[in-house]
Amino acid sequence: MVKSSALAGIIGLILLIFGIIDYFIASGFRFFVFVNLAAGVFALVLWATTSSRESLGAALGSRTTRYGANAAIYSLAFIALLVAINYLANRHDRRFDTTQEKVFSLSTQSINVVRNLTRPLKFYGFFQGGQDQKAQDLYEAYAYASPKVSYELVDPDKHPELAERYKVATMGTTRVQYGEQP
């Protein structure tokens, strides 16, 4: 009876934790959340009513329970710390170029130019298959420096109308459009 009572308590805690996590992850209060919370509360009530007060006190006062609780608290605190760091990193995106020659950074003059733009600036990169990693990295660096900068990688074979409109004859060409030019 003691083992089944302890199992009911553990299952109750697990169901409550899953219900709470699902409530915060999923939008709104869904049926699955309700089932987990109700079953968790029921299992915890069953555990509390079937275990005797002496065995409950002895279990809470034992050394293994204290160590287990400490381990659980430290684990939850560590997970909460990781979640907080991830949240802050996503909210405040920063780039750092740790190379000695600053190979992956724009020059100070380029950054000043794009930060002082008065109209939108768009790069059209015409590449085979619409992909070129070096060009994309460069365009992203400019777009990161200023919200007025955007880019588009174009495959001239799939979009010949753009290549014709901008008179692009060779692959690897970048067209720079400043403002609302045609």
Residues 10 and 46 in one domain: yes
Residue 101 inside a domain? The answer is no
- What's the confidence (pLDDT) of residue 78? 92
pLDDT score of 151 = 93
- Residue finishing a domain among 91, 126, 156: 91
In this structure, the chain runs to a length of 182
172 located within any domain:
yes
pLDDT, position 149: 92
Residues 169 and 126 in one domain: yes
Q: Which residues contact 168 (CB under 8 A, 6 or more apart)?
A: 126, 156, 162, 175
> Is 70 exceeded by the pLDDT of residue 44?
yes
Q: What is the mean pLDDT of residues 36-44?
A: 86
Per-residue pLDDT averaged across 147-168, rounded? 89
Same domain (yes/no): 86, 112:
no
More confident residue, 120 or 26: 120
Say if residue 52's pLDDT is above 60: no
Residues 8 and 72 in one domain: yes
Q: Residues 88-115: what's their mean pLDDT?
A: 81
Phi and psi at 146, nearest 5°, equal -150, 135
In terms of domains, do 79 and 128 share one? no
> What's the pLDDT at 2?
55
Number of domains into which the chain is organized: 2
- Residue 26 domain-assigned (yes or no): yes
Whether residue 114 sits in one domain with residue 70: no
The answer to whether residues 114 and 87 belong to one domain is no
**pLDDT the model gives residue 114:** 87
81: domain range? Answer: 2-91
- How many percent of the chain have pLDDT more than 90? 13
Ordered DSSP codes for 3-54: HHHHHHHHHHHHHHHHHHHHHHHSSS--HHHHHHHHHHHHHHHHHHHHS-HH
Residues 86 and 122 in one domain: no
| Per-residue confidence (pLDDT) for residue 60, from 0 to 100 | 61
Q: Is residue 63 part of a domain?
A: yes
- Domain check: are 68 and 124 in the same one? no
Residue 140 lies in a domain: yes
Q: What is the pTM of this model?
A: 0.51
* CATH code of the domain in which 159 resides: 3.40.30.10
Q: Does residue 98 fall inside a structural domain?
A: no
Q: Are 8 and 36 in the same domain?
A: yes
